[in-house]
Amino acid sequence: MPKGGNYETKPDDGCYIEGMFVEGARWDNERMLLAESLPKKLYSEAPMLWLQPVESHKKKQFPSYLSPIYRTSERRGVLATTGHSSNFVMNVELPSDKPNDYWVRRGVAMLLSLSD
């Protein structure tokens, strides 16, 4: 997650991504982690992400939820040779104070666009 800095210019390494949504949970800007959805709210704005390449052995470990990102809220598509749906984009680690299974049981995912 980007912290401080100017987001109007590109980062030295990686890229910023914004405009996504979280389904089944929400992003808590004050605590900077995944939180329960607000009542009667199916979707919420996702935080801006800073995708930054890093060697796997140098990756920082932190309590997180490995959230899938889908193109649409349908979460289905043609099964590709990779075993993933053509609607699946990638997984992203979101900081969380709850175990991964907690969010999996709630079906939490990030979406690039909402259905009409």
pLDDT of 76 over the 80 cut: no
What is the model's pLDDT at position 79? Answer: 67
Q: Above pLDDT 90, what percent of the chain?
A: 49
On average, the pLDDT of the chain sits at 86
17: exposed, middle or buried (C-beta count within 10 Å: 0-12, 13-18, 19+)? middle
* pLDDT level of residue 116 (50, 70, 90 thresholds): low
Tokens 């389904």 sit at which residue? 23
> What amino acid is encoded at 45 in this protein?
E
Q: What is the CA radius of gyration of the chain?
A: 15
The model carries a pTM of 0.81
Please state which CATH class domain 15-111 belongs to.
alpha beta
